[in-house]
Amino acid sequence: MATDHSRTVDGEPPDDPEELLPEDSVLTLEEYLDMHAAVGHRTRYELLYRLVHGGEMSPTELEAALDIDDSTLHYHLNELVDVGLVEKRQRTDRGQDGLYTYYRATVFGEMTLTDGVNELIRGELAFDDMYDSSSG
Domains of the chain: 25-135 (1.10.10.10)
* pLDDT tens profile 29-43: 888 889 889 999 999
Neighbours of 58 (CB within 10 A): 14
Cβ contact 80:62 at 8 Å: no
Round to whole Å and give the CA distance between 83 and 106. 10
Strand partners, 101: 90
Round to whole Å and give the CA distance between 72 and 14. 40
Round to whole Å and give the CA distance between 98 and 94. 5
Round to whole Å and give the CA distance between 78 and 98. 23
* pLDDT tens profile 46-99: 999 999 999 999 999 999 999 999 999 999 999 999 999 999 998 766 665 556
Q: What is the pTM of this model?
A: 0.74
Q: What is the SS3 assignment for 85? A: coil
